[in-house]
Amino acid sequence: MQVAGGPRTAPRTLAPGQDVTVSVPATSANLGPGFDSLGLAVTLYDTVRVRTSENEGIFVEVAGEGAGSVPLDSSHLVVRTLLGTLNNAGYGIQGLHLSAENAIPHGRGLGSSASAIVSGVLAANSLLPAEARLDAAGLLHSCSALEGHPDNVAPALAGDLAISWETDGVFRSVRAAVHPSVVPVVAIPDVELSTESARGLLPATVAHRTAAANAGRAALLIHALTADPSLLLEGTRDALHQDFRAPAMLPSARLLQSLRSDGFAAVISGAGPTVLCLADGEDAARDAEEAMTEQLQAAGSAENWRVLRLGVERDGARVEGHQR
């Protein structure tokens, strides 16, 4: 995972015995009309502990989501990202022990790959000597470049609502504080959908009036999320991606349509197939949770979904425990 401009000399070896723990929240990108630009951090976490060792080799153990299906060697995404980040800074390691406790489901539109990338970059950055570490802007750009876009990694790093963009190849983001009454509720199916598959269903172009209408809704959504949650239903109306992706996740599309018809501010989370409802207050969140459960029961598929009431993660990723 070395990028152009990386070190050309033999890497320096980091000291063994360093110990870092990184906790990264799940994220929901797009939020309806904010395609590839808006993302929200929510209270579901992957936690990774990394220890450098004097014993050569890579040892990986995974509990929770992905256990039994993800690789347990240097091809594991967190390990790959960590080693690549160290290498780009001119450093290597002798041995590595990585232990992951995952709560973010894979391939469901809740930022699991972004969480892995952020975990790897932050762990590597903490292992590095102070003079070699990336600052906040460097961390955002590095994670975004590895993920391909910043909409998930930005809120994973900083928390709350992230508004992200790219200029001349440089990824940037600003954080906006979500109104305290906003409560995310998610319905997570037991099937995965790759982001690449979902993105492949999108048209190459849309009408100018469609783009203009969507821009207006995205602007309204930022106001709704930060200042006036009563406008969440109107603010989450999308014209760019959800209808086009519906054939790849028909149960999610049907649930989405039904919830919105009943007045809930529901969207497809990221590329799907998770359905996210943004509720205004705890009572509305309870109503959304009940509506999701009832509609899934009516469809005869409730046992194939998990309905969870979450919170907005305010602070983003955390790093604990340190080297010498």
Annotated binding-site positions for ATP = 105-115
Amino acid identity for residue 285 in this structure: A
| Under 8 Å between Cβ of 317 and 25 | yes
For residues 220 and 222, give the distance between their C-alpha atoms in angstroms, rounded to a whole number.
5
Amino acid identity for residue 295 in this structure: Q
Q: What is the DSSP pairing of strand 266-268 with strand 275-280?
A: antiparallel
What are 1-4's contacts with CB under 8 Å, separation 24+?
A: 1/80, 1/81, 1/83, 1/84, 1/85, 1/87, 1/88, 1/146, 2/84, 2/87, 2/88, 3/84, 3/88, 3/145
* Dihedral, CA of residue 79, residue 83, residue 84 and residue 89, to nearest 10: 150
End-to-end CA distance of the chain: 27
| Under 8 Å between Cβ of 156 and 27 | yes
Choose among 252, 145, 154: nearest CA to 198: 252
Residues 6+ apart with CB under 8 A from 318: 22, 23
- Element at 173 (helix H, strand E): strand 170-176
Annotated binding-site residue numbers:
105-115
Residues 6+ apart with CB under 8 A from 131: none
| Under 8 Å between Cβ of 58 and 95 | yes
Q: Report residue 147 CA to chain centroid gap.
A: 10
